[in-house]
Structure 1
Amino acid sequence: MSRTEVLDTHAHIVPRSLLSALEDAPVAGFSARRTDQGWVVAVPGTGDTRPIGARMIEPAPREAWQRQAGVTRQVLSPWLDIQSAPLNPARARDWARTVNDAMAESAADANTVALASVAVDDGDRAADDVLEAWKRIEFAGLILNTDPPAGPAPHEATYDPLWTVAAAEGIPVVLHPPTCGPSGDLTSLGTMGNVHGRLIDNSVAVTKLILAGVLDRHPALRLVLVHGGGFLPYQAGRLDGGYRTKEAFAGELERGKPSAYLGEFHYDTVGLSGPAIAFLAGLVGPGRVLLGSDYPFALGDPEPVRTVRESGLDDAYVEAILHTNAETLFRRPA
């Protein structure tokens, strides 16, 4: 293949500069401290995060993993656990800007790009904050929590000003479920919350976006679904049935059924097998599939490049998934 770069679109980081700053002085109620197990961030309203290891913080382990996995560059995402806090609007905006400053610094140091964060309690302010972040060359997109702990959900009308700006500016928006989402109420999941719960959360959130007509109102949106879109692409026929019987219905859709919108999203390959990647590419088109690892988490894909190559897709499609699709999607306008 002629590929010169492999771009991982789903990789998390907690900037060391952010942790050091929080150790010195809290910001918006957040603080950080060192423990025997690693750094811990105290999140207002929810308590301490899990210990944050070196793979999430330090560049050396990240670079070593990239060499081993055949990844040449990553789009850096903030860790959702340090964003899931029930903050008042002023504090939420202060915290998002603090995280953005640290993410921009890390992206510049790594010669790559990052995803920005915004507070979403007020749609008009969120739209202004997106434009503010988009002026910074270090950011190539936006990351949104599919179930924010305070404020509206992405399918609600409050988001419309944000969606309008994102569509007009061509800003990619990555929709990511939180560690503790609505599926946490399913006690029968037991220890499988991270195995299946996140996929349920993503599937439900994206379904609500479709049913609420967000893509009808904002057809130019560039939305990225992590974890292969959860269960949604593989059970779309059942959703269509629910729309037909009004069990999954919020209003008439311009395209007649929910599955007609699946080709408008982009999907990463995290957690998918080679055959699942081939199915997804066949369903939505290989130009809509992006390499993702979910680094540094154990449930991510330790060999994402190999997984894509095992899909059996043509070399040109494999190269597109490994690099071209993401380079096109996350390329900043000149």
Structure 2
Amino acid sequence: MKIIDSHFHWWPRSIFEPLLKREGFPKAVVNARGGYTYHGANGRRGTVASWKEWFDLDEQLAYMDSLGHDISVVCSIGPLSIYFSELPVEEGRDAALAWNEEMAWAQRRYPDRVWASAAIPLVDTRVAIEVLDDAVNRLGLMGVNLPGSVGKDGMIDDVRLEPFYERVAELGLPMFLHPTDAVFADVMQGYNDALHLSLGRVVEVSAAASRLILSGMMERHPGLKIVMSHTGGALPYQSGRMDKNSKTAGLTKPVSHYLHQMFTDTVSPHSAGQKFAIEYFGADNVMYGTDYPCWDPAVCLKLLDEIEMSAATKQKIFHDNAVRILGLKPPEAAAA
């Protein structure tokens, strides 16, 4: 079966070289697992740890080949997306440009098999738009990454970012909304980070998506394509409560109206959760995604196989939805 994995992480080691040399925060250190541990701005408690499977794209694709399907991948940043907005403006811009060059290289090396999305530093709106336009118009990247927060105290619904969202909507680009470790790692500390990793990231991505809805950002820019990670976080399961208790935000439609305009993936280690996401968002709005290397695609495939779906629905979820939602094009079409 031909499959597109819409939630796939490859991190270039070159991105960590300047981070290893930084004396202050944010910075990174080499860890014992063959990867790096990222320490965020101001020495905050939340860290992002990686291991060796994050860094060799050839080996990652070889593992995809071992699964018995023809699998293409869409690279997004994941929890490290906060990094580019925790640096000083010019340094964050340069780091994002370096990331985007690496992603463009991957697309060129593996045409029709690897698509990749851009890093955007959000602390300066003008710079954010400049990096966005460069990533799309010069490098041909297919989407952008949106961290759950903009630095420890920043909010992704800040009014100053309105022109950025307007530009993203104008370009018709998908925005990958992924949790970071900038906020809820402090609130949900303990148990060797088990509480934060299992629940904190789900809460953060849910709060971030709610901010984009309640701020009216989606109402004012109906062309925004927001791809929520992890089967939509907690929001599908609290949809009725959001409608009931969010009337004071002054939206013209219930919150659930905007939730149903979002897209999501199949990253839930629970077939019942995957099934409910498909039922809530609709079979046209869910894309196969595995969060690899954070989760084993073999497990995801097994769980999805437990859900009764028609051949047509499987074709949508495993392939066609990603092509349509993410606007994936062959290299020659993208260049044109």
Corresponding letter in the other structure for 2:180: P
8 Å Cα contact 1:12-1:76 kept in structure 2: yes
Structure 1 contact 226–267 (Cα < 8 Å) conserved: yes
The AA in structure 2 aligned to 1:278 is K
> What is aligned with 2:172?
170
1:287 is aligned to 284
Does the residue aligned with 1:118 lie in a helix, a strand or coil?
A: coil
**What CA distance in whole angstroms lies between the structure 1 residues aligned with 2:151 and 2:266?**
27
Pairs within 5 Å for 1:118-157: 118-149=120-151, 152-157=154-159
Structure 1 residue aligned with 2:226: 223
Bigger mean CA deviation after superposition, 116-125 or 147-156? 147-156
Q: Deviations over 1:7-28 (max 9, x none)?
A: 1111112113434x54997699
1:11 to 2:20 alignment: no
CA offset at residue 173 of structure 1? 0.6
State how far apart, in whole Å, the 2-side matches of 1:141 and 1:121 are.
19
| 2:269/2:300 contact within 8 Å kept | no
Q: Partner residue of 1:158?
A: 160
Change (3 A) 1:261 1:44: closer
Matching residue within 56, 79, 93 for 1:58: 56
Instruction: Work out whether residues 309 and 318 of structure 1, in 8 Å CA contact, stay in contact via their aligned partners in 2.
Output: no
Q: 2:118 aligns with which of 110, 116, 119?
A: 116
Q: CA deviation at 1:61?
A: 3.3
Root mean square deviation, CA, Å: 2.9
Following the alignment from structure 2 to structure 1, what is the Cα–Cα distance between the partners of residues 152 and 183?
12
Amino acid at match of 2:287: L
Q: Does 1:184 align with 2:194?
A: no
1:150-179 C-alpha deviation (Å, 9 max, x unpaired): 674222212211111111111111111103
Q: Which residue matches 2:94?
A: 94
Please tell me the residue identity of whatever aligns with 1:165. Answer: R
Deviates more, 1:157-166 or 1:225-234: 157-166
Residues 225 and 36 of structure 1: CA distance in aligned 2, closer, same or farther (over 3 Å) = closer
Q: Pick from 237, 252, 271: which aligns with 2:240?
A: 237
- Quote the offset at 1:268 in angstroms: 0.8
Q: TM-score, normalised by structure 2?
A: 0.85
Q: Is the 8 A contact 2:81 2:147 kept in 1?
A: no
Deviation at 1:281, TM superposition (A): 2.3
With the length of structure 1 as denominator, give the TM-score of the two structures: 0.85
CA deviation map 1:166-219 (0-9, x unaligned)? 111111111111034335313477622111111111111111211111111000
Q: Equivalents in 2 of 1:44, 1:274: separation in Å?
A: 34
82 and 30 in structure 1: CA distance in 2 versus 1, 3 angstrom threshold? farther
**Would you say the 8 A contact 1:120–1:151 is kept in 2?**
no
Structure 2: which 5+ runs fail to align?
none
State the aligned residue count.
323
Go from structure 1 to structure 2 and tell me whether the alpha carbon gap of 1:188 and 1:219 turns closer, same or farther (over 3 Å shift). same
Q: Distance in 2 between matches of 1:186 and 1:219?
A: 34
Match of 1:124, SS state, is helix
Match of 2:259 among 250, 262, 269: 262
**Residue equivalent to 1:74:** 73
CA displacement at 1:64 relative to structure 2: 3.3
Which of 268, 272, 277 lines up with 2:274 in the alignment? Answer: 277
1:37–1:289 CA distance, 2 compared to 1 (3 A): closer
Could you tell me whether the CA contact under 8 Å between 2:120 and 2:131 is conserved in 1? yes
Amino acid at match of 1:297: C
Q: Single out whichever of 115-124 and 30-39 deviates more from structure 2.
A: 30-39
Given that 1:152 and 1:158 are in contact with CA atoms closer than 8 Å, whether structure 2 keeps it comes out as no
Go from structure 1 to structure 2 and tell me whether the alpha carbon gap of 1:158 and 1:285 turns closer, same or farther (over 3 Å shift): same
Q: Which amino acid aligns with 2:149?
A: D
**Cα separation, 2, equivalents of 1:192 and 1:271:** 16
Distance 1:122 1:35, change over 3 A: closer
